Protein backbone atom coordinates (compact mmCIF):
# COMPACT_ATOMS: atom_id res chain seq x y z
CA UNK A 1 0.00 0.00 0.00
CA UNK A 2 3.02 2.27 -0.05
CA UNK A 3 2.76 2.90 3.70
CA UNK A 4 6.47 2.40 4.38
CA UNK A 5 7.33 5.44 2.30
CA UNK A 6 4.28 7.62 2.96
CA UNK A 7 3.81 7.15 6.71
CA UNK A 8 6.60 6.41 9.16
CA UNK A 9 5.24 7.68 12.49
CA UNK A 10 1.60 8.21 13.46
CA UNK A 11 -0.21 10.00 16.27
CA UNK A 12 -3.57 8.88 17.67
CA UNK A 13 -5.94 10.77 19.95
CA UNK A 14 -9.48 10.34 21.27
CA UNK A 15 -11.52 13.49 21.89
CA UNK A 16 -14.90 14.43 23.33
CA UNK A 17 -17.11 12.10 25.34
CA UNK A 18 -16.10 8.49 25.76
CA UNK A 19 -18.01 5.61 24.21
CA UNK A 20 -17.58 1.88 23.63
CA UNK A 21 -15.29 1.10 20.69
CA UNK A 22 -12.63 3.76 21.12
CA UNK A 23 -10.02 1.24 22.18
CA UNK A 24 -10.98 -1.02 19.28
CA UNK A 25 -10.18 1.81 16.84
CA UNK A 26 -6.89 2.60 18.56
CA UNK A 27 -5.99 -1.09 18.32
CA UNK A 28 -6.91 -1.29 14.64
CA UNK A 29 -5.00 1.84 13.61
CA UNK A 30 -1.86 0.91 15.53
CA UNK A 31 -1.80 -2.79 14.64
CA UNK A 32 -2.45 -2.07 10.97
CA UNK A 33 0.43 0.38 10.95
CA UNK A 34 2.79 -1.92 12.81
CA UNK A 35 2.01 -5.11 10.90
CA UNK A 36 1.47 -3.75 7.41
CA UNK A 37 3.45 -0.54 7.32
CA UNK A 38 6.20 -0.98 9.89
CA UNK A 39 5.35 2.41 11.40
CA UNK A 40 5.91 3.78 14.88
CA UNK A 41 2.84 4.86 16.84
CA UNK A 42 2.40 7.60 19.40
CA UNK A 43 -0.61 8.01 21.66
CA UNK A 44 -1.66 11.56 22.53
CA UNK A 45 -3.15 11.68 26.01
CA UNK A 46 -6.46 13.32 26.96
CA UNK A 47 -7.50 14.42 23.49
CA UNK A 48 -6.37 17.80 22.22
CA UNK A 49 -5.20 18.62 25.75
CA UNK A 50 -2.29 16.28 25.09
CA UNK A 51 -1.46 17.95 21.79
CA UNK A 52 -1.43 21.38 23.43
CA UNK A 53 0.66 20.31 26.42
CA UNK A 54 2.81 17.73 24.62
CA UNK A 55 1.54 14.75 26.62
CA UNK A 56 2.39 11.76 24.45
CA UNK A 57 3.39 8.14 24.91
CA UNK A 58 4.67 5.43 22.61
CA UNK A 59 2.29 2.68 21.55
CA UNK A 60 3.66 -0.73 20.62
CA UNK A 61 1.99 -4.03 19.86
CA UNK A 62 1.67 -5.08 23.49
CA UNK A 63 0.09 -1.75 24.45
CA UNK A 64 -2.87 -2.33 22.14
CA UNK A 65 -3.24 -6.08 22.63
CA UNK A 66 -6.24 -7.15 24.68
CA UNK A 67 -8.07 -3.83 24.46
CA UNK A 68 -10.63 -4.76 21.78
CA UNK A 69 -13.31 -5.48 24.38
CA UNK A 70 -12.53 -2.62 26.76
CA UNK A 71 -14.83 0.37 27.09
CA UNK A 72 -13.51 3.89 27.57
CA UNK A 73 -10.14 4.82 26.07
CA UNK A 74 -6.62 3.92 27.16
CA UNK A 75 -5.49 7.36 25.97
CA UNK A 76 -7.95 9.37 28.03
CA UNK A 77 -10.11 12.12 26.56
CA UNK A 78 -11.28 15.68 27.07
CA UNK A 79 -14.09 17.83 25.73
CA UNK A 80 -12.68 21.07 27.15
CA UNK A 81 -9.53 21.52 25.08
CA UNK A 82 -10.14 23.30 21.77
CA UNK A 83 -6.69 24.48 20.59
CA UNK A 84 -8.27 27.36 18.69
CA UNK A 85 -10.12 28.62 21.77
CA UNK A 86 -8.08 27.09 24.53
CA UNK A 87 -9.12 27.70 28.13
CA UNK A 88 -6.67 26.98 30.92
CA UNK A 89 -7.97 24.83 33.79
CA UNK A 90 -10.04 27.04 36.07
CA UNK A 91 -10.48 29.73 33.41
CA UNK A 92 -13.59 30.73 31.49
CA UNK A 93 -14.56 31.66 27.96
CA UNK A 94 -13.19 35.19 28.28
CA UNK A 95 -9.71 33.73 28.80
CA UNK A 96 -9.77 31.64 25.60
CA UNK A 97 -6.79 31.94 23.27
CA UNK A 98 -5.54 30.34 20.06
CA UNK A 99 -2.72 27.85 20.76
CA UNK A 100 -2.99 25.94 17.48
CA UNK A 101 0.57 26.97 16.62
CA UNK A 102 1.74 25.09 19.72
CA UNK A 103 -0.07 21.99 18.45
CA UNK A 104 1.68 22.22 15.11
CA UNK A 105 5.03 22.65 16.85
CA UNK A 106 4.46 19.64 19.13
CA UNK A 107 3.27 17.56 16.16
CA UNK A 108 6.49 18.31 14.30
CA UNK A 109 8.72 17.84 17.33
CA UNK A 110 7.24 14.36 17.81
CA UNK A 111 8.17 13.53 14.21
CA UNK A 112 4.60 12.62 13.29
CA UNK A 113 3.48 12.20 9.70
CA UNK A 114 -0.26 12.04 10.34
CA UNK A 115 -2.69 12.55 13.19
CA UNK A 116 -5.67 10.21 13.64
CA UNK A 117 -8.49 12.05 15.43
CA UNK A 118 -11.16 9.74 16.83
CA UNK A 119 -14.20 11.66 18.00
CA UNK A 120 -17.54 13.32 17.40
CA UNK A 121 -18.54 16.48 15.60
CA UNK A 122 -16.56 18.76 17.92
CA UNK A 123 -13.38 16.72 17.66
CA UNK A 124 -13.72 16.41 13.88
CA UNK A 125 -14.42 20.13 13.45
CA UNK A 126 -11.19 20.89 15.29
CA UNK A 127 -9.41 18.27 13.18
CA UNK A 128 -10.54 20.09 10.04
CA UNK A 129 -9.08 23.35 11.36
CA UNK A 130 -5.79 21.65 12.23
CA UNK A 131 -5.61 20.25 8.71
CA UNK A 132 -6.01 23.77 7.36
CA UNK A 133 -3.07 24.77 9.54
CA UNK A 134 -0.74 22.13 8.11
CA UNK A 135 -1.29 18.98 10.18
CA UNK A 136 -2.21 15.93 8.04
CA UNK A 137 -5.37 14.58 9.66
CA UNK A 138 -7.63 11.55 9.21
CA UNK A 139 -10.79 11.44 11.32
CA UNK A 140 -12.80 8.50 12.64
CA UNK A 141 -16.47 9.15 13.57
CA UNK A 142 -17.39 8.31 17.16
CA UNK A 143 -20.52 9.03 19.17
CA UNK A 144 -23.40 7.23 20.80
CA UNK A 145 -25.63 10.00 19.38
CA UNK A 146 -25.16 8.89 15.74
CA UNK A 147 -25.32 12.55 14.68
CA UNK A 148 -22.20 12.94 12.53
CA UNK A 149 -22.72 14.00 8.92
CA UNK A 150 -21.03 12.00 6.18
CA UNK A 151 -21.56 8.57 7.71
CA UNK A 152 -24.60 6.31 7.94
CA UNK A 153 -23.63 5.18 11.41
CA UNK A 154 -21.01 5.85 14.08
CA UNK A 155 -19.35 3.29 16.29
CA UNK A 156 -20.65 3.47 19.85
CA UNK A 157 -24.25 3.88 18.71
CA UNK A 158 -25.06 0.18 18.70
CA UNK A 159 -23.59 -0.33 22.16
CA UNK A 160 -25.68 2.53 23.56
CA UNK A 161 -28.78 1.11 21.87
CA UNK A 162 -28.29 -2.16 23.73
CA UNK A 163 -28.28 -0.26 27.04
CA UNK A 164 -31.40 1.73 26.13
CA UNK A 165 -33.25 -1.35 24.90
CA UNK A 166 -32.38 -3.44 27.94
CA UNK A 167 -33.45 -0.59 30.23
CA UNK A 168 -36.83 -0.32 28.49
CA UNK A 169 -37.26 -4.09 28.66
CA UNK A 170 -36.67 -4.03 32.41
CA UNK A 171 -38.93 -1.03 32.95
CA UNK A 172 -41.76 -2.79 31.12
CA UNK A 173 -42.05 -5.36 33.90
CA UNK A 174 -42.12 -2.87 36.77
CA UNK A 175 -44.49 -0.59 34.86
CA UNK A 176 -46.88 -3.49 34.34
CA UNK A 177 -46.65 -4.58 37.97
CA UNK A 178 -47.47 -1.14 39.37
CA UNK A 179 -49.68 0.12 36.52
CA UNK A 180 -47.46 3.13 35.97
CA UNK A 181 -46.22 5.29 33.18
CA UNK A 182 -42.45 5.01 32.90
CA UNK A 183 -40.68 7.87 31.16
CA UNK A 184 -37.21 6.94 29.89
CA UNK A 185 -34.84 9.81 29.10
CA UNK A 186 -31.99 9.05 26.71
CA UNK A 187 -28.92 10.97 25.67
CA UNK A 188 -28.53 12.27 22.13
CA UNK A 189 -28.09 16.03 22.59
CA UNK A 190 -30.05 17.79 19.84
CA UNK A 191 -30.50 14.69 17.68
CA UNK A 192 -33.13 12.03 18.34
CA UNK A 193 -31.46 8.91 16.90
CA UNK A 194 -30.82 7.19 20.21
CA UNK A 195 -34.34 7.74 21.54
CA UNK A 196 -35.90 6.85 18.19
CA UNK A 197 -34.10 3.58 17.46
CA UNK A 198 -33.88 2.57 21.11
CA UNK A 199 -37.57 3.34 21.56
CA UNK A 200 -38.51 1.25 18.54
CA UNK A 201 -36.32 -1.64 19.71
CA UNK A 202 -37.81 -1.48 23.21
CA UNK A 203 -41.42 -1.16 22.06
CA UNK A 204 -41.99 2.33 23.43
CA UNK A 205 -45.60 3.48 23.23
CA UNK A 206 -44.62 7.12 22.75
CA UNK A 207 -41.29 8.40 21.42
CA UNK A 208 -40.53 12.11 21.67
CA UNK A 209 -37.55 13.46 19.74
CA UNK A 210 -36.29 16.98 18.95
CA UNK A 211 -37.01 16.71 15.22
CA UNK A 212 -40.77 16.08 15.56
CA UNK A 213 -42.81 18.75 17.40
CA UNK A 214 -45.02 17.25 20.09
CA UNK A 215 -48.10 18.30 22.05
CA UNK A 216 -48.25 17.19 25.66
CA UNK A 217 -51.98 16.64 25.38
CA UNK A 218 -51.37 14.19 22.54
CA UNK A 219 -48.87 12.27 24.68
CA UNK A 220 -51.37 12.14 27.53
CA UNK A 221 -54.16 11.04 25.23
CA UNK A 222 -52.12 7.97 24.24
CA UNK A 223 -51.72 7.10 27.91
CA UNK A 224 -55.45 7.58 28.59
CA UNK A 225 -56.45 5.51 25.56
CA UNK A 226 -54.18 2.65 26.55
CA UNK A 227 -55.69 2.71 30.02
CA UNK A 228 -59.21 2.71 28.58
CA UNK A 229 -58.35 -0.37 26.53
CA UNK A 230 -57.14 -2.21 29.62
CA UNK A 231 -53.42 -1.62 29.12
CA UNK A 232 -52.61 -0.24 32.53
CA UNK A 233 -49.07 0.92 31.84
CA UNK A 234 -47.23 2.94 29.20
CA UNK A 235 -43.61 3.50 28.18
CA UNK A 236 -42.64 6.98 27.01
CA UNK A 237 -39.14 7.47 25.57
CA UNK A 238 -37.85 11.06 25.50
CA UNK A 239 -34.61 12.42 24.06
CA UNK A 240 -32.71 14.85 26.31
CA UNK A 241 -32.74 17.49 23.53
CA UNK A 242 -36.54 17.81 23.45
CA UNK A 243 -37.64 21.34 24.28
CA UNK A 244 -40.29 22.55 26.68
CA UNK A 245 -43.47 23.99 25.09
CA UNK A 246 -42.11 27.51 25.47
CA UNK A 247 -39.02 26.53 23.49
CA UNK A 248 -36.46 26.21 26.32
CA UNK A 249 -34.16 23.25 26.92
CA UNK A 250 -33.97 21.57 30.31
CA UNK A 251 -30.37 22.13 31.42
CA UNK A 252 -28.75 19.91 34.02
CA UNK A 253 -25.68 22.11 34.48
CA UNK A 254 -23.47 24.69 32.84
CA UNK A 255 -19.70 24.23 32.65
CA UNK A 256 -18.03 27.61 32.35
CA UNK A 257 -14.65 26.33 31.19
CA UNK A 258 -16.15 24.31 28.36
CA UNK A 259 -16.95 25.66 24.91
CA UNK A 260 -20.14 23.62 24.95
CA UNK A 261 -21.31 24.95 28.29
CA UNK A 262 -24.79 23.46 28.34
CA UNK A 263 -25.28 19.95 29.73
CA UNK A 264 -28.78 18.76 28.92
CA UNK A 265 -30.80 16.59 31.26
CA UNK A 266 -34.10 16.49 33.14
CA UNK A 267 -36.74 16.69 30.41
CA UNK A 268 -37.90 13.18 31.37
CA UNK A 269 -38.73 14.30 34.91
CA UNK A 270 -40.80 17.17 33.52
CA UNK A 271 -42.66 14.80 31.20
CA UNK A 272 -43.46 12.41 34.06
CA UNK A 273 -44.83 15.19 36.23
CA UNK A 274 -46.97 16.53 33.40
CA UNK A 275 -48.37 13.10 32.51
CA UNK A 276 -49.25 12.31 36.12
CA UNK A 277 -50.87 15.71 36.68
CA UNK A 278 -52.95 15.52 33.50
CA UNK A 279 -53.97 11.85 33.54
CA UNK A 280 -53.98 10.99 37.22
CA UNK A 281 -51.85 7.92 36.45
CA UNK A 282 -48.72 7.49 38.55
CA UNK A 283 -45.69 8.31 36.43
CA UNK A 284 -41.99 7.85 37.11
CA UNK A 285 -38.93 9.08 35.21
CA UNK A 286 -35.68 7.20 34.64
CA UNK A 287 -32.72 9.18 33.32
CA UNK A 288 -30.30 6.70 31.78
CA UNK A 289 -27.44 9.20 31.67
CA UNK A 290 -23.83 8.12 31.36
CA UNK A 291 -24.57 4.42 31.70
CA UNK A 292 -25.32 4.63 27.96
CA UNK A 293 -21.68 5.53 27.27
CA UNK A 294 -20.02 2.91 29.44
CA UNK A 295 -19.17 -0.75 29.25
CA UNK A 296 -17.82 -3.10 26.63
CA UNK A 297 -18.65 -2.52 22.94
CA UNK A 298 -21.10 -4.85 21.23
CA UNK A 299 -19.82 -7.25 18.55
CA UNK A 300 -21.24 -4.89 15.92
CA UNK A 301 -19.27 -1.95 17.30
CA UNK A 302 -16.10 -4.01 17.69
CA UNK A 303 -16.24 -4.98 14.03
CA UNK A 304 -17.17 -1.47 12.84
CA UNK A 305 -14.41 0.12 14.93
CA UNK A 306 -11.88 -2.35 13.53
CA UNK A 307 -12.95 -1.63 9.95
CA UNK A 308 -12.83 2.13 10.51
CA UNK A 309 -9.40 2.01 12.16
CA UNK A 310 -7.99 -0.09 9.33
CA UNK A 311 -9.58 2.17 6.69
CA UNK A 312 -8.22 5.28 8.41
CA UNK A 313 -4.66 3.97 8.20
CA UNK A 314 -5.09 2.92 4.58
CA UNK A 315 -6.36 6.42 3.75
CA UNK A 316 -3.36 8.01 5.47
CA UNK A 317 -0.98 5.66 3.66
CA UNK A 318 -2.48 6.82 0.37
CA UNK A 319 -1.65 10.40 1.30
CA UNK A 320 -5.19 11.36 2.32
CA UNK A 321 -5.68 14.25 4.73
CA UNK A 322 -8.47 16.49 5.98
CA UNK A 323 -10.85 13.56 5.56
CA UNK A 324 -12.95 11.28 7.72
CA UNK A 325 -13.59 7.62 7.01
CA UNK A 326 -17.37 7.20 6.91
CA UNK A 327 -19.84 4.39 6.37
CA UNK A 328 -21.90 4.54 3.17
CA UNK A 329 -24.09 1.48 2.79
CA UNK A 330 -21.75 -1.50 3.14
CA UNK A 331 -18.64 0.48 2.22
CA UNK A 332 -16.23 2.71 4.10
CA UNK A 333 -15.27 5.78 2.11
CA UNK A 334 -13.26 8.97 2.66
CA UNK A 335 -15.40 12.03 3.35
CA UNK A 336 -13.95 15.57 3.27
CA UNK A 337 -13.95 17.01 6.78
CA UNK A 338 -15.38 20.26 5.43
CA UNK A 339 -18.60 18.28 4.86
CA UNK A 340 -18.56 17.14 8.48
CA UNK A 341 -17.32 20.13 10.47
CA UNK A 342 -19.86 22.23 12.38
CA UNK A 343 -22.79 20.19 11.09
CA UNK A 344 -25.14 17.71 12.69
CA UNK A 345 -26.99 14.73 11.26
CA UNK A 346 -30.53 14.81 12.55
CA UNK A 347 -33.53 12.53 12.13
CA UNK A 348 -35.73 13.24 9.13
CA UNK A 349 -39.35 13.30 10.24
CA UNK A 350 -40.44 11.01 7.38
CA UNK A 351 -37.53 8.55 7.46
CA UNK A 352 -38.12 4.80 7.39
CA UNK A 353 -37.54 4.45 11.14
CA UNK A 354 -40.32 6.91 11.91
CA UNK A 355 -42.69 5.50 9.29
CA UNK A 356 -42.19 1.94 10.52
CA UNK A 357 -42.77 3.00 14.12
CA UNK A 358 -45.99 4.82 13.21
CA UNK A 359 -47.17 1.80 11.22
CA UNK A 360 -47.10 -0.41 14.31
CA UNK A 361 -48.91 2.12 16.47
CA UNK A 362 -46.10 4.10 18.06
CA UNK A 363 -46.99 7.72 18.77
CA UNK A 364 -44.62 10.65 18.42
CA UNK A 365 -46.90 12.96 20.37
CA UNK A 366 -47.71 15.02 17.30
CA UNK A 367 -51.22 13.83 16.50
Q: Which residues are catalytic?
A: 145
Distance between alpha carbon 298 and the CA centroid of its chain, in Å?
Answer: 15
Burial of 243 (0-12, 13-18, 19+ CB in 10 A): middle
First to last CA, the chain: 56
3-class secondary structure, 102? helix
Q: Which residues, at least 6 apart from 356, have a Cβ–Cβ distance to it below 8 Å?
A: 200
**Burial track 10-30 (b if 16+ CB lie within 10 A, e otherwise):** bbbbbbbbbbbbbbbbbbbbb
**Burial track 131-143 (b if 16+ CB lie within 10 A, e otherwise):** beeebbbbbbbbb
Separation of alpha carbons 312 and 234, rounded Å: 44
Q: Any bridge partners for residue 138, and if so which? A: 116, 323
Whether the CB-CB separation of 48 and 15 falls below 8 Å is answered with: yes
DSSP code, position 350 = T
Amino acid sequence: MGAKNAVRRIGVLTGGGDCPGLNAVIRAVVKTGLLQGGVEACGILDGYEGLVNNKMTGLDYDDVSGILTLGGTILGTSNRANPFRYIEPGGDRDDARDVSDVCLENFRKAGLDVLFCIGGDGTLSIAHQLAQNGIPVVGVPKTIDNDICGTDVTFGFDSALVVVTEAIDRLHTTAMAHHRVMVVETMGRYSGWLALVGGVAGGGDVIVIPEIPYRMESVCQVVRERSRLGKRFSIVVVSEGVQLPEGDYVVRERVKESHEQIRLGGIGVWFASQIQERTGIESRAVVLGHVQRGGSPTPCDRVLATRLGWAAFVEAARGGSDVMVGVRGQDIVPVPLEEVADRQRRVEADCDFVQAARAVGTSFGDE
